[in-house]
């Protein structure tokens, strides 16, 4: 996330100096603006990545796309074990990393839950400790909020939508009751670990056609967004400075040498795309006095 609206992010931006990025932006032309809201189920970085990969957006079936082909036509989803922290007036989804699930514990949990999901025609496959792959017709047409949108927020405004949401809500309630007194959960409680008391479905849907071929796979640095999800704005600012001194400086050198390049800056609401373009003498003079700077751009994200 290049910039956000959180008070901590705004404060970090005030003292953030990114000289290489400012120089790069002065050489680039704006080619696209994806204007959205911070209540959209799909965040700007996911929409931008979907466009770059030739996938449907804004509701992108990421799990189906990961299978590599639309030939079989199955509906897929990602399923993340998580902890819902219940307060007086909110239910917050904590960052899955706080569960400290390792591979063995996650696989054991999947084995416990798989028979319950199978009753609803859903098969589960292990992918990583906090993300499983699920396949079933219930995911066809299901509108899900990205996990990135929900972490640290009240889940009640981000619940899945569509006709298939009702059976999933029932299954979720059954899983909560099953895990509440299960020996697997009791062992975690005895070890002082957070309870797994919920799951989040995301990236659901059916891939209607194979993704369009891309000539250059996009690169998406994750350090900025990881720090933002943790609300660690000191680390976020440090990650920006590292990007500025490394990859951004390298991209600036490439553009200065006449190379082609595209850059997309994403915030919580919107994304802006830039590309290297030939500039006339008049445009260079205008840019000299009206330089495009990150401090101005980030206000539009």
* 181 and 254 housed in the same domain: no
Q: For residues 169 and 233, state if they share a domain.
A: no
Q: What is the pLDDT of residues 21-72, one digit of tens each?
A: 999 999 998 999 999 998 999 999 999 999 988 888 888 999 998 887 655 6
CA distance 25 to 128: 37
Q: What are the tens digits of pLDDT across the range 158-192?
A: 999 988 899 999 999 999 999 999 999 999 999 99
> Is residue 1 in a domain?
no
Tell me: do 201 and 74 sit in the same domain: yes
* Span 108-136, pLDDT tens digits: 999 999 999 999 999 999 999 999 999 99
Q: What's the CA gap between 162 and 144, in Å, rounded?
A: 9
Residue 200 maps to a domain = yes
The domain of 287 spans 7-53+217-300
pLDDT at position 96 over 90: yes
Q: 122: exposed, middle or buried (C-beta count within 10 Å: 0-12, 13-18, 19+)?
A: buried
For residues 177 and 259, state if they share a domain: no
Domain count, the chain: 2
2 located within any domain: no
Residue 88: the pLDDT is: 86
**68 Cβ contact list (under 8 Å, min separation 6):** none
CA distance 301 to 299: 6
Distance from C-alpha of 103 to C-alpha of 130, rounded to nearest angstrom:
9
């Amino acid at each position: 996330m290049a910039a956000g609206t959180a008070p901590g992010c705004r404060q970090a931006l005030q003292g953030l100096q990114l000289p290489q990025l400012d120089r790069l932006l002065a050489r680039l032309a704006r080619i696209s603006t994806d204007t959205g809201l911070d209540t959209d189920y799909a965040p700007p970085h996911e929409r931008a990545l979907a466009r770059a990969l030739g996938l449907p957006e804004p509701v992108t079936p990421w799990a189906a796309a990961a299978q590599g082909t639309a030939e079989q036509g199955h509906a897929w989803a990602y399923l993340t074990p998580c902890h819902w922290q219940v307060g007086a007036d909110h239910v917050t989804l904590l960052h899955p990393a706080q569960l400290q699930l390792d591979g063995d514990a996650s696989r054991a949990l999947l084995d416990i839950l798989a028979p319950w999901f199978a009753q609803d025609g859903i098969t589960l496959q292990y992918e990583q400790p906090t993300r499983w792959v699920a396949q079933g017709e219930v995911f066809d047409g299901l509108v899900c909020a990205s996990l990135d949108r929900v972490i640290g927020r009240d889940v009640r405004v981000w619940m899945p939508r569509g006709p298939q949401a009702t059976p999933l809500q029932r299954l979720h309630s059954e899983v909560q009751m099953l895990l509440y007194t299960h020996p697997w959960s009791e062992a975690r409680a005895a070890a002082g670990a957070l309870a797994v008391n919920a799951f989040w479905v995301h990236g659901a849907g059916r891939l209607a056609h194979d993704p369009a071929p891309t000539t250059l796979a996009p690169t998406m640095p994750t350090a900025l967004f990881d720090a933002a999800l943790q609300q660690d704005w000191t680390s976020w600012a440090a990650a920006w400075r590292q990007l500025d001194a490394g990859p951004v400086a390298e991209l600036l050198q490439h553009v200065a040498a006449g190379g082609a390049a595209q850059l997309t800056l994403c915030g919580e609401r919107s994304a802006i795309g830039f590309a290297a373009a030939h500039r006339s003498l008049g445009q260079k003079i205008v840019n000299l006095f009206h330089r495009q700077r990150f401090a101005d751009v980030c206000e539009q994200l």
